[in-house]
Structure 1
Amino acid sequence: MPIQAPLPDFCTDPGETFTWPQPLTELPLVAVNFDPEALRDEDFARTGIAMPANLQRAVAKRKAEYLAGRLCAREALQQATGVGAIPGTSEDRAPQWPAGSVGSITHSDGRAAAIVGRASRYASVGLDMEWVMADERAVKLAGQILTDGERKRFARALKERPGECLTLAFSLKESLFKALYPLTLKRFYFEHAEVLEWQEPGLARLRLLTDLSDQWRNGQELDAQFLHRDGQLISLIAVARS
């Protein structure tokens, strides 16, 4: 299904399909490639999306990320709910999804994506997209992203393919934050969750290491999924409505 309004030159039409290891129904994902250098401020008006005040003086990269992400979100909302609305922005800059829907937006150096579901089926979703980092950078960042338990648990992977290992852990924790923050409104960081396991073809499990609310407490575990895509890792956590 094409995006509703004609897309400006800075952004490609969404053409990719994404198949998760454990398919999730009624949860469309829309992704595009974009080029910040080709963005023009009038592209916001052309697509019917207002430029937020805090982006008026921002660099082209930030503007392009925002616009590409909102274009994906509008199309995903159209596919999931039949209404192609534009998510607002809350005071903490998180997307504000229309009543009856939940979603998540991500972008990473020239690519943007959004995933949306009905709130009657999903309590929340978290989506993250990351380019696989270089091995040398991964080795330097491991202490900031991994807990001691994770470093022991994934010692072999860290030695053999540190870039992929650390990128996956980073992305899974980002998806966890995006999924749980709307439910708890409490920020948490890399040391407050740990990856227990992951396996091909793209299944993982995480555990909270802090209390976020009465419902989401230290020790609670969640399932996640991930995909390899042209040098990127895409991770997803979908919290089903109980």
Structure 2
Amino acid sequence: MNRLPTCCAPLQHHWPLPHPVPGAVLVSCAFDPAQLAADDFQRAGIVQTANLQRSVAKRQAEYLAGRVCAREALLRLDGRDYVPATHEDRSPIWPTGIHGSITHGQGWAAAVVTAQGTGLGLDQETLLSEERAARLAGEILTPAELERLDRSQQALTVTLTFSLKESLFKALYPLTKKRFYFEHAELLEWSADGHARLRLLTDLSAEWHHGVELDGQFGLQDGHLLSLVSV
């Protein structure tokens, strides 16, 4: 019987985003690296690789929390008991026919899975301070995004742009196997209701090429931003 690791709070089965994705299941949990117990991987029934054994408690706890959420999401999706292993490129290995994404930040992890569509990308970020957002804006935003930037919402906009581009990457990388970076996509628009629109600025494949536009969504709570791109 798989048990919840000591470092993880009870799992939450909810949809903390404004627009439900048909057929998708999202599970999250809070976690505390300081509460990581020596037998937490064994307790949860999750394999601790040699790399994880050498890593710090924070990395171990976030990996464990993310995989616990992923297993529970798959269990709720179709009844299978499965923990995603990891590709050499560090992306999760999902069962055939399943699309999913895992994210973890400061003390919170989540996983989303579906058997519909072609890809999912989920990302969580802590809201940047105004000072840090100002420093990072030039690295994260394209020249066009910088021109459109409302300085009165700079921290939120830079955090949101970062997160949505991360979600976009997570959704498209499994489909194209091509890496791309912040300058290869732009956030065209976003609204307070949690809707966003993105555009690719590079060619990844015949289907996913320069100029293709995609929808994204996001939610903000307690200084944490969660974004999702589904395709």
- Shorter-normalised TM range: over 0.9
Q: Which residue number corresponds to residue 23 of structure 1?
A: 20
Query: What secondary structure is seen at the aligned counterpart in 1 of 2:90?
Result: coil
1:16 to 1:99, Cα distance in 2 relative to 1, 3 A: closer
Q: Which residue number corresponds to residue 146 of structure 1?
A: 141
Q: Which residue number corresponds to residue 213 of structure 2?
A: 221
Shift of 1:84: 2.4
Preserved contact between residue 218 and residue 228 of structure 2 (Cα < 8 Å): yes
In the alignment, structure 2 segments of 5+ residues that lack a partner are none
- 1:66 counterpart letter in structure 2: Y
- 2:36 counterpart letter in structure 1: L
Q: Which residue number corresponds to residue 188 of structure 1?
A: 180
Q: Distance in 2 between matches of 1:81 and 1:88?
A: 18
Q: Deviations over 1:38-70 (max 9, x none)?
A: 102310011100012211110001101110000
Correspondences of 1:199-218 after superposition (within 5 Å): 199-218=191-210
- RMSD of the TM alignment (CA)? 1.2
Extract structure 1 runs of 4+ deviating beyond 4 A.
none
Preserved contact between residue 81 and residue 101 of structure 1 (Cα < 8 Å): no
Correspondences of 1:1-242 after superposition (within 5 Å): 5-15=2-12, 17-118=14-115, 121-154=116-149, 156=150, 159-239=151-231
- 1:99 counterpart letter in structure 2: T
Q: Deviations over 1:105-141 (max 9, x none)?
A: 00001110000001xx221100001110111000000
Alignment coverage as a number of residue pairs: 231
- 1:63 counterpart letter in structure 2: Q
Q: Distance in 1 between matches of 2:97 and 2:206?
A: 23
Q: What is the TM-score of this pair, normalised by structure 2?
A: 0.97
% same residue: 55
Q: Distance in 2 between matches of 1:111 and 1:20?
A: 15
Q: Distance in 1 between matches of 2:188 and 2:110?
A: 26
- 2:62 counterpart letter in structure 1: E
Q: What is the TM-score of this pair, normalised by structure 1?
A: 0.92
Q: Distance in 2 between matches of 1:25 and 1:183?
A: 20
Preserved contact between residue 5 and residue 41 of structure 2 (Cα < 8 Å): no
Shift of 1:24: 1.4
In the alignment, structure 1 segments of 5+ residues that lack a partner are none
